[in-house]
Amino acid sequence: MDRRKSLKSIVLGTVAGGLAIHGCKPEAGSEELVESPKITYPGRVPLEEELLAELEEEQFLNPHEIETLTVLCDLILPGSEEFKAASDAKVVDFIEFMAKDNEAFQPDIRGGVMWLDHKCNTENGVEFKAATQEQQKAILDEIAYYDPEVPSNERPFEVNFFSLIRNLTMTGFYTSKIGIEEIGYKGNMPNVWDGVPDDVLEQHGVAYEEEWLAKCVDQSKRGIIAEWDENGNLLT
Amino acid sequence: MQIIENATVYDAIIVGSGAGGGMATKVLSEAGLRVAVVEAGPFFDPALPEHQTQLKWPYESPRRGASTRFRPFGDFDAAYGGWDIEGEPYTQKDGTQFDWFRSRMLGGRTNHWGRISLRFGPNDFKHKDIDGYGDNWPISYDDVKPYYDKVDKLIGVFGTNEGLPNDPDGFFLPPPKPRLHELFYIKGARKSNVPVYPSRMSMLTKKINNDRGVCFYCGQCNRACQVYADFSAGTCLIFPAQKNGGQVDLFVNCMVREVTTDAEGKATGVSYINKEDRKEYKLKGRVVVLGASACSTARILLNSKSKQHPNGLGNSSDVVGKYLHDSTGADRAAFIPDLMNRKVSYNEDGVGGMHVYSPWWGDNSKLDFPRGYHIEVWGGMGMPNYGFGFNVNEFNKFFGTKVGGYGDVLRGEAKKYYGATMGISSRGESIALKENYCEIDPTTVDEFGIPVLRFHYKWSDLERNQAKHAHDTFEEIIHNMGGIPLGDKPGKDRDYGLHVPGRIIHEVGTTRMGDDPKTSVTNKFQQLHDVDNVFVVDAGVFTSQADKNCTWTILALSMRASEYIVDQLKQQNI
């Protein structure tokens, strides 16, 4: 039994029904084998689609882990009147996917949730997710900061666990639609680049040189077909 | 198993559809020849909505654009393939390492490449005369210049005529204005006496014909352009060849096994495995043009053994596979405090890649390495992707404030540092050595039963010294930009940060051209010395790499060789 399957059966075996596992499709059956292997390629090749289907079929996080991580991620990026929360961007769904896509994350995530519960039970007699926010933050205050001069593989497990969840929360949030809006990224759409705005140049204390700008594209002529003289001077 | 033969006799069979094969397809078909293009991967056209990854948002990938085994440059990268392809292994020899990147698809690696389109200069063809290392090419810049000129006009490249001695002028489209971090680079590099010029890249900043669109500045050339505003071999060569009425039969998902020959040892065509039904087929042709990539072409030749060619086709010299060399590469990232707290009021995507670069400026006669490197620059307020916000406030260490934490403070720090990181990379020339090679590994086949390549490759101190120089230069430039270099400067124990051979994906030299059939595989028209109706149009023919990227030279040489093929067929010499 490979590791993926064993983890899947751990989840299936230890958690009562109600767990949202995507419909258990049968493994590649005989009917697929007799079909002629006609390959059609969209933007994704079959091997990629197979991997994706396999990952989507699996469930790594159990309901308790999902609930605990939801609390934890919302402590990292909390919701407020001004900002959306990590949970608004479905960050835990992203962590679920990444844990399957990169199995190296799995023991740290699983063990990290156990660590949080053990710590919180010991200190407060309650699981992390059920503790008060004050109790939760008291635990985080001990693990959320690190000394960057100490190599990461020499830092305590719980510090690295929290760094991992913080990293995945930040990426999960800021690569979501609401996160991209918050960070203010303006690209990924057709436009015409015509240099850094003057106020930005001024803010950072740099300027364009006339000589350099003279070489650059005149965007009003971008639609005119290029023609050159025999020496390579652009005529149009 | 019976091999299925196609009755058609093609004028030319072209193996591979990247820069070399694509150019051969265009030139040969437009001369009226009937050509077959045999490509090991699937059809790909970025104009088809089902093939597009351009303008997708990170959340349209469940891994937010993180890399996979299938796409090492990220989930949205257009080049399907990588250093590790299921069912298609390669092996290493004597504990050495060469990482081989392949992209099996129409257009090959041109679908995602950096579009850095640099001509070789006069010195690059005659470097042995200058420093005694390697060999001269049998041709000079003057032989190739007319073809560079034609490629510039046919495909389109932006840049500027600067009159530099070894970075020739051309027919350029105007370049885009520098981005903010690039203005910082210009300032820092000049202080270090490193000159900076507008970069030279094959995106259309201006219309070049009515078939291709103009760049709309999404910065995503590696995802392949749906309006064909950057160069890839499918969109700019093969599709136009078909559109112009060329007789082009595309055989996709067809993996060439060998070149077939007759009793006189002349090529009769190719045999290939159709990946869809896993059966072997044969195609017949008057001329075989190999553009499968330097190492794949060497593999096909070495696997084409016959009574007449017992050492592999074109390999009486025993040089096929030898003199394999990749560009050198080293990189350093930097934090630029003056780029903190940026306004996000504008779209900074620009073209895919850098707007400025530094061609090699040094005098090697005063240095402890014979060949140069150019400098590439990266940075800016890019689209958030997998990895965004990792170690979000680690730069706090430079200000003596706490690193880590949680809560809204992280939001502020993500914004404070957004766009304040940039990087500098060197891409340089290594010396071609006979001792660096690929050969057939007799113990291993791929899933199609074709014997695979085994690599033997070691850098020498000449490349290590160059990397050391590059890293010293990076630090100096970064300091002169007011920046802080990130991470440690790699020392001798890490080859001074020199990337493993193959990682820069500029491998060349395996079927090198030369005048002497004893020491080279092709003549100066890229025709096998041993078999006059087989040509090589990929980077295998490079006698030496330059401190430039290889694609523009592949294109120019393939055009030159293809015109020669047309001429030789007309004269009935082959």
* Minimal CA separation from B95 to chain A, in Å: 27
pLDDT digits (tens, 9 = 90+) for B419-445: 999 999 999 999 999 999 999 999 999
- pLDDT-derived band at A23, boundaries 50, 70, 90: very low
- pLDDT-derived band at A45, boundaries 50, 70, 90: confident
Q: Which of A38, A76, A226 shows the shortest C-beta gap to B173?
A: A226
User: What does the CA dihedral B311, B312, B314, B317 come to, rounded to 10 degrees?
Assistant: -30
Q: Please state, in angstroms and rounded to a whole number, the distance separating the CA atoms of residues B540 and B558.
A: 11
CB A180 to CB B160 under 8 A? Answer: no
Confidence (pLDDT) at B111: 96
- B-chain CB neighbours of A191 within 8 Å are 216-218, 347, 349
Confidence (pLDDT) at A38: 33
Confidence (pLDDT) at A18: 32
**Mean pLDDT, to the nearest integer, of A155-175?**
98
CB B52 to CB A77 under 8 A? Answer: no
pLDDT > 70: percent of chain A: 82
pLDDT of B473 above 80: yes
DSSP B45-69: -TTSGGG--TT--GGGSTTTT---S
pLDDT of B68 above 60: yes
**Mean pLDDT, to the nearest integer, of B362-370?**
97
Q: Which of A25-29, A33-37, A61-65 has the highest mean pLDDT?
A: A61-65
CA neighbor of B464 nearest in space, from B439, B440, B430: B430
pLDDT digits (tens, 9 = 90+) for B78-118: 999 999 999 999 999 999 999 999 999 999 999 999 999 99
- A-chain CB neighbours of B196 within 8 Å are none
pLDDT digits (tens, 9 = 90+) for B294-338: 999 999 999 999 999 999 999 999 999 999 999 999 999 999 999
Reported ipTM exceeds the 0.90 cut: yes
How much is the mean pLDDT over chain B?
A: 97
* Residue matched to tokens 């719980």: A158
CA neighbor of B176 nearest in space, from A191, A221, A193, A214: A193
Look at A11-15, B50-54, B358-362 and tell me which has the smallest mean pLDDT.
Answer: A11-15
- B-chain CB neighbours of A145 within 8 Å are 402-405
pLDDT digits (tens, 9 = 90+) for B287-299: 999 999 999 999 9
The residues, ordered by sequence, that sit 6+ positions from B8 with a Cβ below 8 Å of its Cβ are: B34, B36, B249, B283, B284
Residue B506 CA: distances (Å) to CA of A2, B220, B358, B495: 38, 21, 19, 19
* Minimal CA separation from A91 to chain B, in Å: 11
Confidence (pLDDT) at B3: 82
- B-chain CB neighbours of A171 within 8 Å are 64, 384, 386-390
- pLDDT-derived band at A22, boundaries 50, 70, 90: very low
**Looking at chain A, which residue has its C-alpha nearest residue B402?**
A145
- A-chain CB neighbours of B410 within 8 Å are 76-77, 166, 170
**Mean pLDDT, to the nearest integer, of A208-229?**
97
* Minimal CA separation from A192 to chain B, in Å: 6
- pLDDT-derived band at B1, boundaries 50, 70, 90: low
CB B208 to CB A170 under 8 A? Answer: no
How much is the mean pLDDT over chain A?
A: 86
**Looking at chain A, which residue has its C-alpha nearest residue B356?**
A212
H-only helix segments in B370-522: 408-417, 461-480
CB B418 to CB A183 under 8 A? Answer: yes
Confidence (pLDDT) at B2: 75
Residue B162 CA: distances (Å) to CA of B142, B167, B197, B199: 18, 8, 8, 11
Q: Which of B62, B86, B410 shows the shortest C-beta gap to A47?
A: B86
Beta strands B328-335 and B484-485 are antiparallel
- pLDDT-derived band at B528, boundaries 50, 70, 90: very high
pLDDT digits (tens, 9 = 90+) for A74-83: 999 999 999 9
Confidence (pLDDT) at B467: 98
- B-chain CB neighbours of A37 within 8 Å are 276-278
**Mean pLDDT, to the nearest integer, of B182-186?**
98
Token pair for residue A228? 């050159």
Confidence (pLDDT) at A46: 86
Q: Please state, in angstroms and rounded to a whole number, the distance separating the CA atoms of residues B162 and B212.
A: 27
Confidence (pLDDT) at B379: 97
pLDDT digits (tens, 9 = 90+) for B546-557: 999 999 999 999
- B-chain CB neighbours of A69 within 8 Å are none
- B-chain CB neighbours of A184 within 8 Å are 344, 415
**Looking at chain A, which residue has its C-alpha nearest residue B349?**
A187
**Looking at chain B, which residue has its C-alpha nearest residue A53?**
B62
* Minimal CA separation from A176 to chain B, in Å: 5
- pLDDT-derived band at B49, boundaries 50, 70, 90: confident
CB B174 to CB A218 under 8 A? Answer: yes
pLDDT > 90: percent of chain B: 97
CB B343 to CB A216 under 8 A? Answer: no
CB B174 to CB A215 under 8 A? Answer: yes
**Looking at chain B, which residue has its C-alpha nearest residue A83?**
B408
- pLDDT-derived band at A35, boundaries 50, 70, 90: very low
DSSP B210-248: SSS-----BS-GGG--TT--B--HIIIIIHHHHHTT-EE
φ and ψ of B279, to 5 deg: -110, 160
Q: What is the pTM of this model?
A: 0.93
